[in-house]
């Protein structure tokens, strides 16, 4: 992940469903609960959300069904008109864009992949992938060349002339991903893209997705209801409940320091040692650095388990991949993450 001016920035965003949402929001008392809003005949699809998405970041938005995660992402691309607040995408307030400018932004900058693959059954893999380029008016030779390039990228080389019915579920999802990549989007929205897949295929698609992100460095907003998937993929996780963001933080911090009882419920069954990295437990050196070899900052406590158990130092130095000393990790604190506290 890179830290930069936010690609997406939303401030106090509301999306209310009901008869006169703007008038209701303007008159609504501050701090009104989700239940009170519902009792007034409105649904708070998104409730006063403020967050940023940095360039090259993968933000995973998760929550149970009805929590507002899909509604929020549709607000990011203005598939939903927000009721209040503002959303800035690449420095532009998307609520101020006219229809043509909004369509251009979606076509030029945004790729979208949804749970339902949405493939055209009468078109081959090649033609499905090239379809958004055709809609853009791109030359036939150029769009074929680009489609072949992304088909190879997602591992479907040799299946260009297959029809969707001739592909497995995982292969169909790869076609959907290739189609969204064909336009070379800067921002990539994925709404539960793997939830319809069998567990083994889902794991393979997660691996493939991480490989693609390592190569392409897209700015990604990924929706899931699966906490394990969120932990595996995310730079940061935003957990939603009843339209509001309960906590938005790194996976390490969410499992170590859940902000609310609701977030804590998500983390109760998680093996923290498989999520928490050594770098998260680092504290500044107080005087001379501990002697001995440092632990690698990017390894998880689970990966360092044997070394931790066998080490006798109270404070263990931790270094980044370049060998630069970052500070020291308290061994007992790390063992508490590994084994739990009494």
pTM recorded for the entire structure: 0.86
> Please, are residues 54 and 229 in contact by the beta-carbon 8 Å criterion?
no
Measure the CA dihedral 65/66/68/69, to 10°.
Answer: 10
Side-chain half-sphere of 116: how many Cα atoms within 13 Å? Answer: 2
Q: How confident is the model at residue 132 (pLDDT cuts 50, 70, 90)?
A: confident
Domains located in the chain, CATH noted: 55-74+98-271 (3.40.50.300), 273-339 (3.10.580.10)
**Where would I find the H helices in 221-312?**
227-233, 251-256, 261-267, 305-310
Calculate what percentage of the chain has a pLDDT beyond 70. 98
Q: Per residue in 257-316, pLDDT tens?
A: 999 999 999 888 899 999 999 999 999 987 787 889 999 999 999 999 999 999 999 999
């Amino acid at each position: 992940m890179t830290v930069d001016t936010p690609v997406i920035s939303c401030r106090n965003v509301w999306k209310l469903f009901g008869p006169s949402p703007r008038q209701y929001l303007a008159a609504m008392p501050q701090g009104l609960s989700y239940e009170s809003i519902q009792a007034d005949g409105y649904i708070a699809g998104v409730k006063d959300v403020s967050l940023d998405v940095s360039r090259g970041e993968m933000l995973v938005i998760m929550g149970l069904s009805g929590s507002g995660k899909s509604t929020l992402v549709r607000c990011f691309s203005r598939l939903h008109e927000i009721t209040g607040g503002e959303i800035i995408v690449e420095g532009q307030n998307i609520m101020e864009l006219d229809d043509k400018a909004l369509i251009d932004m979606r076509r030029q900058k945004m790729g979208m992949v949804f749970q339902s693959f949405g493939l055209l059954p009468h078109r081959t893999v090649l033609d499905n992938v090239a379809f958004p380029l055709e809609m853009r008016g791109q030359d036939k030779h150029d769009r074929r060349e680009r489609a072949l390039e992304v088909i190879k990228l997602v591992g479907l080389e040799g299946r260009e002339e297959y029809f969707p019915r001739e592909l497995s579920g995982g292969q169909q999802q790869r076609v959907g991903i290739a189609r969204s990549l064909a336009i070379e989007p800067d921002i990539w929205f994925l709404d539960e893209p793997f939830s319809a897949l069998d567990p083994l295929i889902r794991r393979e698609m997660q691996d493939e997705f991480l490989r693609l992100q390592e190569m392409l460095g897209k700015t990604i907003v990924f929706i899931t209801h699966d906490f394990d998937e969120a932990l595996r993929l995310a730079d940061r996780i935003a957990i939603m409940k009843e339209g509001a963001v309960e906590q938005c933080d790194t996976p390490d911090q969410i499992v170590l320091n859940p902000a609310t009882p609701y977030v804590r419920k998500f983390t109760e069954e998680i093996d923290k040692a498989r999520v928490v990295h050594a770098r998260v437990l680092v504290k500044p050196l107080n005087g001379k650095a501990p002697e001995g070899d440092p632990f690698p900052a990017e390894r998880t406590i689970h990966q360092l388990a044997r070394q931790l158990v066998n080490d006798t130092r109270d404070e263990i130095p931790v270094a980044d991949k370049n060998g630069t000393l970052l500070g020291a990790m308290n061994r007992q604190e790390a063992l508490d993450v590994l084994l739990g506290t009494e």
